[in-house]
């Protein structure tokens, strides 16, 4: 495997590493600052604002800095923010650290995805997203081990910050490799066709359906990842170390699903795979929402497997579904995903504070049902009469 591809894989691992730690740290973090459950929304929104700002500017940043330098600088921002989490004594400063985390993550996410799409095959793009999940699975495990060993949520952030510091140093050393070997990565890519104005793209029902699907997908993925630990420990009586393993295993199930299903997608057909995946995600979320501890954990893993292929496969279907609107649609989809990942988990926090933690399971179930329904509408709107869904 070429060294450049390995560097990109490591970049996706680094992107996922800090993302799911908050789900494990939140109960202890909330207690240390005396916060209500709904306060999680402020931190998620702050992170989302940073993410949105840097992802919008990522194209210009890549042109000016190059992918390698952008990866190193953005990883440095995340490192500073994680160490800030570990050290700050003030809640507003923690929100500011979330903003910095978002700035770094948004630039890495947009820059690496654009680079991967232009230089690597679809198979590797699926597996790169699996590497993100590997990082997201490892983060909660490290945070749980640190929490149970030291009794402090800050130690987990300090350890992951130190790991990110090492990765940042490595990215800084090899930053020139991305530009130097971009042309040789996997051969030239087909140039995009002529597009349409943004206003014309927004007049298409399919564009709005895909935007809504990405909003609900990411909202559900993040909601389950961020709130499962709190729900299990505070409402279902699960030990912290067990709940932390389950939270990590959830992200791991998404990663494993992307590796396995990425191999079979061509055989099964993208639309058929997506339809099956949304049903499995709905069934798993239902089991997590209504079940006690162990059945709920099984539902969480099942939901992860169902969610696994949805994001990368939806992205891969965008050109065929939306044609000249693709360039605008991909940016809108990524933005909708970011907003969904901030808004829906935040709404879960509000409901938890006003109604109780079990309401998060209900919200997740409603979101999963909406995801299935909207995707069915999307498939029906794009399938020519008399054809199957095996595209």
Can 1-185 and 196-391 be said to share one CATH topology? yes
What does the longest C-alpha to C-alpha distance in the chain come to? Answer: 63
The answer to whether the beta carbons of residues 150 and 27 sit under 8 Å apart is no
In angstroms, how far is CA 108 from the centroid of its own chain?
12
Dist. CA 179–CA 187, nearest whole Å:
14
269: left (phi over 0), alpha (psi -120 to 50) or beta: left
Task: Write down the H helix ranges in 151-269.
Answer: 153-174, 176-181, 198-202, 205-234, 240-268
Q: Are 181 and 2 in contact (CB under 8 A)?
A: yes
Q: Are 360 and 195 in contact (CB under 8 A)?
A: no
Kindly state the tokens that stand for 41: 């929304």
CB distance 240 to 231 below 8 Å = no
Token pair listed for 169: 């140093």
Rounded to 5 degrees, φ, ψ at 122 are -60, -35
Name the strand (E) or helix (H) holding 112: helix 91-119
Is the whole-model pTM more than 0.75?
Answer: no
Domain 196-391 has CATH 1.20.1250.20: yes
Q: What is the pLDDT of residue 114?
A: 63
Q: 110-139: b or e for each residue (b if 16 or more CB lie within 10 Å)?
A: bbbbebbeebbebebbbbbbbbbbbbbbbb
A 10 A CB-CB count for 64 gives 10
Structural tokens at position 356: 């109780």
Under CATH, what is the fold of the domain 1-185?
A: Growth Hormone; Chain: A; (1.20.1250)
| CB of 250 closer than 8 Å to CB of 323 | no
pLDDT score of 8: 79
Q: Is residue 299 within a helix (H) or strand (E), and if so which, with residue range?
A: helix 293-307
With contact defined as beta carbons under 8 Å apart, do 44 and 77 qualify?
no
* HEC per residue, 17-86: CCCCHHHHHHHHHHHHHCCCHHHHHHHHHHHHHHHHHHHHCHHHHHHHHCHHHHHHHHHHHHHHHHHHHH
Q: Which of 228, 346, 212, 380 is nearest to 293 (CA)?
A: 228
| Residue ranges per structural domain of the chain | 1-185, 196-391
pLDDT at 149: 92
Mean pLDDT, 10 residues at a time, the chain of 391 residues: 72 84 90 89 86 72 79 92 94 95 83 67 74 85 91 94 91 73 39 56 80 94 92 91 90 88 81 94 95 88 94 79 68 78 90 92 96 94 59 55
Do 227 and 22 meet the contact criterion of CB atoms below 8 Å apart? Answer: no
């Amino acid at each position: 495997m070429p060294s450049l591809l390995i560097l990109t894989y490591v970049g996706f691992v680094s992107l996922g590493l800090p993302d799911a730690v908050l789900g494990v740290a939140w109960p202890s973090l909330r207690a240390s600052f005396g916060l209500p459950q709904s306060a999680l929304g402020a931190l998620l929104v702050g992170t989302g604002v940073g993410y949105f700002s840097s992802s919008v500017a990522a194209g210009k940043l890549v042109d000016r800095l190059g992918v390698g330098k952008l990866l190193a600088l953005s990883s440095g921002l995340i490192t500073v923010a994680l160490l800030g989490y570990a050290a700050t004594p003030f809640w507003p400063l923690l929100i500011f650290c979330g903003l910095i985390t978002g700035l770094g993550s948004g630039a890495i996410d947009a820059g690496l995805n654009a680079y991967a799409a232009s230089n690597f095959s679809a198979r590797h793009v699926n597996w790169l997203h699996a590497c993100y999940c590997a990082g997201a699975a490892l983060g909660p495990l490290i945070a749980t081990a640190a929490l149970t060993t030291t009794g402090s949520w800050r130690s987990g952030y300090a350890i992951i910050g130190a790991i990110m510091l090492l990765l940042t140093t490595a990215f800084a050393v090899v930053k020139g490799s991305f530009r130097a070997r971009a042309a040789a990565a996997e051969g030239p890519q087909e140039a995009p066709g002529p597009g349409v104005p943004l206003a014309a793209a927004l007049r298409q029902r399919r564009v709005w359906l895909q935007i809504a699907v990405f909003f609900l997908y990411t909202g559900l993925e993040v909601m389950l990842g961020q709130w499962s630990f709190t729900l299990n420990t505070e409402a279902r009586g699960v030990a912290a170390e067990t709940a932390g393993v389950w939270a990590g295993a959830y992200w791991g199930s998404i990663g494993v699903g992307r590796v396995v299903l990425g191999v079979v997608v061509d055989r099964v057909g993208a639309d058929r795979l997506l339809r099956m995946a949304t049903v499995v995600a709905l069934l798993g979320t239902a089991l997590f929402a209504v079940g006690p501890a162990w059945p709920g954990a099984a539902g969480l893993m099942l939901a992860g497997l169902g969610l696994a292929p949805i994001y990368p496969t939806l992205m891969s279907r965008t050109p065929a579904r939306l044609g000249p609107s693709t360039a605008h649609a991909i940016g809108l989809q990524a933005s909708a995903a970011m907003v969904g990942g901030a808004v829906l988990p935040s709404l879960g926090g509000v409901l938890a504070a006003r109604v109780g933690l079990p309401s998060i399971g209900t919200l997740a179930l409603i979101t999963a049902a909406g995801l299935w329904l909207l995707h069915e509408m999307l498939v029906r709107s794009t399938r020519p009469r008399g054809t199957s869904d095996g595209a």
